[in-house]
A and B are shown apart, each in its own frame.
Chain A
Amino acid sequence: MSLDPAAVRRIAKLARIRVADDALPQLAGELNAILGWIEQLNEVDIDGVTPLTGAAQMTLAWRADVVNDGGDAERVLSNAPDRDGQFYAVPKVVE
Chain B
Amino acid sequence: MISDFTLASARAALRARRVSSTELTRHFLGAIDALNPQLNAFITVTADRALVQAAAADAALASGDHGALTGIPLAIKDLFCTDGVRTTAGSRILSPFVPPYESTVTANLLRDGAVFLGKANMDEFAMGSSNATSAYGPVVNPWTRTGDNRPLVPGGSSGGSAAAVAAGLALGATATDTGGSIRQPASFCGIAGIKPTYGRCSRWGVVAFASSLDQAGPVARNVQDCAILLGSMAGYDPKDSTSANIPVPDFAAACRRGVKGLRIGVPREYRSDDMPPEIEALWQQGLAWLRDAGAEIVDVSLPHTKYGLATYYIVAPAEASSNLARYDGVRFGARSDGADLTALYENTRADGFGAEVQRRIMIGTYVLSAGYYDAYYIRAQKIRSLILKDFTEVFAKVDALVTPTAPSAAFALGDRLDDPIKMYFNDVFTVPANMAGIPGMSVPAGLDAHGLPLGLQVLGRPFDEETVFAVAQTIEDAAGFLARPSVRAGG
Contacts and interface: CB of A to CB of B under 8 A. Distances in A.
Interface stretch (B7-15, B33-41, B223-231, B324-332): B324-332
28 contacts: A3-B366, A15-B361, A15-B365, A16-B345, A17-B346, A18-B349, A18-B350, A31-B359, A34-B313, A34-B421, A37-B313, A38-B310, A38-B313, A40-B307, A40-B310, A41-B311, A41-B383, A51-B384, A51-B385, A52-B384, A53-B212, A55-B434, A60-B242, A78-B100, A80-B331, A80-B332, A81-B332, A93-B341
B382 A46 contact: yes
B171 interface: no
Interface of B: 96-98, 100-101, 198-199, 211-213, 238, 241-242, 244-245, 304, 307, 310-311, 313-314, 321, 325, 328-335, 337-347, 349-350, 353, 358-359, 361-363, 365-366, 369, 376, 378-386, 388, 420-421, 434-437, 462
A19 B353 CA distance: 12
A8 B376 contact: no
B281 to A, nearest CB: 29
Interface string A23-59: 0000100110111011011101010011111111110
Q: Is the interface of B mostly helix, strand, loop or mixed?
A: helix
Nearest to B211: A54
A46 B313 CA distance: 18
A30 to B, nearest CB: 6
A10 to B, nearest CB: 9
A22 to B, nearest CB: 14
Interface of A: 3, 8, 11-12, 14-19, 27, 30-31, 33-35, 37-38, 40-42, 44, 46, 49-58, 60-61, 63, 75-76, 78-82, 88, 90-93
A75 to B, nearest CB: 4
Contacts of A42: 379
A14 B346 CA distance: 10
B314 A17 contact: no
A13 to B, nearest CB: 8
A56 B244 contact: yes
A21 B241 CA distance: 42
Nearest to B98: A79
A40 B379 CA distance: 12
Given A14-B365, A18-B350, 13 more contacts: A3-B366, A15-B349, A16-B345, A16-B349, A17-B361, A31-B359, A34-B421, A35-B363, A52-B381, A55-B436, A75-B100, A91-B339, A93-B340
A56 B350 contact: no
B420 A33 contact: yes
Nearest to A3: B366
Contacts, number: 162
Contact of A91 (B307, B340, B376): B340
A38 B421 CA distance: 10
B426 to A, nearest CB: 15
B310 A52 contact: no
Contacts of A78: 98, 100
A90 B341 contact: yes
Q: Is the interface of A mostly helix, strand, loop or mixed?
A: loop
B92 to A, nearest CB: 14
Contacts of A49: 382-383, 385-386
Contact of B333 (A18, A76, A79, A90): A79
Given A55-B435, A90-B341, A50 B332 contact: no
A79 B97 contact: yes
A50 B333 CA distance: 39
A52 B385 contact: yes
B315 to A, nearest CB: 9
Contact of B335 (A8, A17, A81): A81
A15 B321 contact: yes
A91 B331 contact: no
A18 B347 contact: yes
Nearest to B438: A55
Contacts of A16: 325, 328, 342, 345-346, 349
A56 B242 contact: yes
